[in-house]
């Protein structure tokens, strides 16, 4: 996307709806330009009539007109800035809402492939640059252009010869600004990347603060933090240095220009080609023109930063889900709840070259009977979790078919599919909210009685009722104030409240003490009663109760059957079982 297309896109999608406010700010810019020009012009009669002719009447009138001109300029500029600040705020909200909505709808792979810190940087730093382009860029473009035109008119009115000399400054400033603009664009990209890396590190640091203490890595992390901050500082410093580089250039050019003008105007005054009052009016106009010339000369920096940020933001907004969905997709009509995998192939590689893909699942064939418990057993990385993730279409297989009660999940509405599935994982996901709201996340319309009942059935009520604020207790980020078993019970309560017919359990009882595991196992027994249940389990209690067990190894189904059958026919399963006995 080139710069023109990017700017056109920003106008069509975000600023066009605020056109009335933008036009009003432009009209106010006309007042700013007119009042600024009149200030320079009023010096002509002020010097001539007051200081030279000593007119008693004008000694009051001209100062009053100067006060009026400054007041009109200040008020007009204030209102114009307030209008554009409002427009920028609306655009900021629209862009951030679109980004967040798209990230919520995005495929899990998009989120997995990029650190959350970089998304946060996009949502904050990049959006700031984009809205700065709108709030100050647009206003300054019109305000400073109109002001410069007005002041140039005063200058030409006073003396065209001096004006031609002064006007040389404008293209020289533009050439300098263009060179700086290219540099600032490059540095801006680097600075934004560094800001994203810093955000990523800070999130990791907060998330792993216990790990830091346990392994006594405080000094190591302090040094790492200082390194990240130093690199961010250097990029920020470099960008600011490039910004202020315009100052000495503009100041030197202005000094040279004023010196030349004083010399030349002195010659004109000596030859009576210009009066002293014309010169001071001209000089005032030229000095006032310094600010808009400098602003316009560096405007391309703001524009380039805004465009650079837009080019990082717009791809996130434009990202479309790779999960296939069609207008003809139907509601899932669930009866028995039989789930069948037929020749399923899956890879996390998104390339279209199927021959050279790194295969995660290869020709998987499974039959999980409705109302029964099916277990998946295998070493870490064998593909068990991937199989679970394919059922609610967190990912899609690139070949093969998955059906539920003979209905293809790829021809079923995703919302309809997922509404019939509950998921409980060893990695419990909770919000920094109350216990009640975390349970109710499964069904926002659930009554308090239903929430309390779900907590009771999951044995969560045992610890909830001992808390000072009970169900209104805030549990902290990712449930930090709760134990592993307590978080797991909340997760099960949430699944119970959803009342789904298909239950997915990913090692839900791992890493728990015997008493807690017993309670969670009872809660799971209630949750999975007469439900189609697929379990990834390391605990024998779950495996032994399974109606069917599949052994997964390196993305393949290598054995299937019940416990007794697998003990006789599968070395992998037998080794797995023997290790469990020994531990």
How much is the average pLDDT of 296-306?
A: 78
Q: What is the pLDDT of residue 82?
A: 92
> Element (H or E) spanning 376, and its range?
strand 373-377
Whether 99 shows a pLDDT value over 60: the answer reads yes
The pLDDT of residue 43 is: 84
For residue 356, what pLDDT is reported?
A: 67
Q: Identify the DSSP state of 70.
A: H
Residue 42 contacts residue 65 (beta carbons within 8 Å): yes
Q: Can you spell out the DSSP letters for 109-172?
A: HHHHHS-HHHHHHIIIIIHHHHHHIIIIIHHHHHHHHHHHHHHHHHHHHH-HHHHHHHHTHHHH
Dihedral angle computed from the Cα positions of residues 109, 112, 116 and 121, in that order, rounded to the nearest 10 degrees: -50
Instruction: Using alpha carbons, select from 106, 138, 137 the residue that is nearest to residue 122.
Output: 106
**Least confident among 153-162, 335-344, 349-358, 359-368:** 349-358
The per-residue pLDDT for range 314-329, each reduced to its tens digit, is 888 888 877 777 778 8
Q: Helix (H) and strand (E) counts for the chain? A: 23, 10
CB-neighbour burial class of residue 219 (10 A; exposed 0-12, middle 13-18, buried 19+): exposed
Gap between the Cα atoms of 191 and 200, Å rounded? 14
H/E stretch holding 502 reads strand 502-506
> H-helix or E-strand containing 81?
helix 58-105
Average pLDDT rounded to a whole number, residues 539-568: 85
CA pair distance 308, 315, nearest whole angstrom:
12
**Can you state the angle between helices 276-318 and 138-158, rounded to 10 degrees?**
160
Residues whose CB is less than 8 angstroms from the CB of residue 127 and which lie 6 or more positions away in sequence, other chains included: 92, 95, 96, 99, 309, 313
Please indicate whether residue 322 or residue 393 has the higher confidence score (pLDDT).
393
Residues forming a β-bridge with 374: 534, 548
Nearest 5 degrees, angle CA 358-CA 415-CA 503? Answer: 70
Q: What is the pLDDT of residue 406?
A: 92
Q: Identify the pLDDT of residue 369.
A: 92
- Residue 355 confidence class, pLDDT cut points 50, 70, 90: low
Residue 238 has pLDDT above 70, yes or no: yes
pLDDT at 354 over 70: no
Percent of the chain predicted with pLDDT > 70: 91
User: Are residues 489 and 458 in contact, defined by beta-carbon separation less than 8 angstroms?
Assistant: yes
Indicate the pLDDT class of residue 252, thresholds 50, 70 and 90: confident
State the pLDDT at residue 581. Answer: 59
Confidence label for 169 from pLDDT (cuts 50, 70 and 90): low
Long-range contacts for 254-262 (Cβ within 8 Å, ≥24 apart)?
254/169, 254/290, 257/165, 257/166, 257/168, 257/169, 257/286, 258/283, 258/286, 260/165, 261/162, 261/165, 261/166, 261/286
CA distance 251 to 244: 11
Query: pTM to 2 decimals?
Result: 0.76
Contact 173, 293 (CB under 8 A): yes
Beta bridge partners of 377: 551
Q: Which of 84-93, 370-379, 460-469, 539-548 has the lowest mean pLDDT?
A: 539-548
Dump pLDDT digits (tens) for 109-138.
Answer: 777 777 777 788 888 888 888 888 888 888
| pLDDT for 206 | 78
Distance in angstroms (rounded) separating the CA atoms of residues 10 and 183: 23
CB 465 within 8 A of CB 530: no
Strand, helix or coil for residue 339: strand
Contact indicator for 550, 560 with CB cutoff of 8 Å: yes
367 forms beta bridges with: 340
Q: How many whole angstroms separate alpha carbon 80 and alpha carbon 356? A: 59
Domains of the chain, with CATH numbers? Answer: 3-318 (1.20.1560.10), 334-420+503-583 (3.40.50.300), 430-499 (3.40.50.300)
By three-state DSSP, how is residue 561 classified?
A: strand
Phi, then psi, of 329 in degrees rounded to 5:
-60, 140
**Tokens, residue 456:** 């009771």
Place of tokens 């580089």: 245
The residue whose two tokens read 């030197």 is 252
Least confident of 70-84, 401-415, 531-545: 531-545
How far apart, in Å, do the first and last CA atoms of the chain sit? 59
Contacts of residue 354, Cβ cutoff 8 Å, sequence gap at least 6? 398, 399
Q: How confident is the model at residue 420 (pLDDT cuts 50, 70, 90)?
A: very high
Q: What is the pLDDT of residues 421-455, one digit of tens each?
A: 998 887 778 888 899 999 998 898 899 999 999 99
Lowest mean pLDDT among 165-169, 286-290, 386-390, 440-444: 165-169
Mean pLDDT computed over every residue of the chain: 84
Burial (CB < 10 A; 0-12, 13-18, 19+), residue 514, is exposed
On the CB side of 60, how many CA atoms lie within 13 Å of its CA? 2
Q: Could you tell me if 182 and 326 are in contact, meaning their C-beta atoms sit under 8 angstroms apart?
A: no
Percent of the chain scored above 90 by pLDDT? 23
């Amino acid at each position: 996307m080139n710069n023109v297309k990017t700017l056109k896109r920003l106008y069509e999608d975000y600023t066009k709806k605020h056109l009335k406010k933008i036009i009003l700010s432009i009209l106010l810019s006309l007042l700013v330009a007119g009042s600024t020009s009149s200030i320079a012009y009023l010096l002509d009669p002020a010097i001539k009539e007051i200081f030279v002719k000593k007119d008693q009447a004008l000694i009051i009138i001209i100062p009053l007109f100067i006060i009026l001109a400054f007041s009109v300029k200040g008020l007009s500029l204030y209102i114009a800035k307030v209008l554009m600040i409002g427009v920028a705020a609306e655009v900021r909200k629209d862009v951030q809402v679109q980004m967040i909505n798209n990230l919520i709808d995005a495929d899990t792979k998009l989120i997995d492939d990029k650190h959350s810190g970089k998304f946060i940087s996009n949502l904050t730093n990049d959006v700031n640059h984009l809205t700065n382009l709108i709030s100050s860029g647009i206003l300054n473009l019109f305000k400073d252009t109109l002001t410069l035109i007005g002041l140039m008119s005063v200058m030409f009115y006073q003396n065209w010869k001096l004006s031609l000399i002064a006007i040389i400054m404008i293209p020289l400033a533009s050439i300098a600004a263009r060179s700086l603009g290219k540099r600032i664009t490059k540095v801006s990209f680097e600075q934004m990347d560094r800001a994203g890396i810093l955000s990523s590190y800070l999130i990791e640091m907060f998330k792993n603060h216990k790990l830091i203490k346990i392994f006594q890595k405080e000094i190591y992390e302090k040094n790492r933090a200082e390194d990240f901050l130093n690199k961010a500082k250097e990029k920020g410093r470099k960008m600011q240095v490039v910004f202020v580089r315009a100052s000495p250039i503009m100041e030197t050019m202005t000094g040279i220009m004023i010196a030349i003008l004083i010399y030349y105007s002195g010659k004109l005054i000596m030859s009576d080609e210009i009066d002293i009052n014309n010169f001071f009016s001209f000089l005032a106009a030229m000095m006032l023109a310094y600010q808009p010339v400098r602003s316009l000369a560096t405007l391309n920096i703001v524009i380039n930063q805004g465009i650079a940020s837009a080019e990082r933001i717009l791809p996130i907004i434009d990202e479309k889900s790779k999960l296939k969905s069609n207008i003809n997709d139907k509601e899932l009509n669930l009866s028995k709840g039989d789930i069948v995998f037929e020749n399923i192939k899956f890879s996390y590689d998104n390339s279209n070259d199927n021959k050279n893909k790194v295969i995660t699942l290869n020709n998987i064939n499974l039959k999980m009977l409705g109302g029964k418990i099916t277990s998946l057993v295998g070493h870490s990385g064998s593909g068990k979790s991937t199989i679970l993730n394919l059922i609610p279409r967190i990912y899609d297989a690139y070949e093969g078919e998955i059906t539920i009660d003979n209905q293809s999940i790829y021809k079923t509405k995703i919302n309809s599919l997922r509404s019939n599935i509950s998921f409980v994982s060893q990695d419990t996901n909770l919000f920094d909210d109350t216990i009640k709201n975390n349970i109710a996340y499964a069904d926002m319309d659930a009554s308090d009685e239903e929430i309390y009942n779900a907590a009771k059935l999951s044995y969560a009520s045992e610890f909830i009722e001992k808390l000072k604020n009970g169900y209104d207790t805030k549990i902290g980020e990712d449930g930090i104030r709760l134990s592993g078993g307590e978080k797991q019970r909340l997760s099960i309560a949430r699944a119970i409240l959803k009342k789904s017919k298909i239950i997915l359990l990913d090692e839900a009882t791992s890493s728990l003490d015997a008493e807690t595991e017993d309670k969670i196992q009872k809660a799971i027994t209630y949750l999975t009663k007469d439900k189609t249940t697929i379990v990834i389990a390391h605990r024998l209690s779950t495996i032994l109760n399974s109606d069917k067990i599949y052994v997964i190894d390196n993305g393949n189904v290598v054995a299937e059957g019940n416990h007794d059958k697998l003990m006789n026919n599968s070395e992998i399963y037998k080794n797995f079982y023997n290790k469990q006995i020994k531990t």
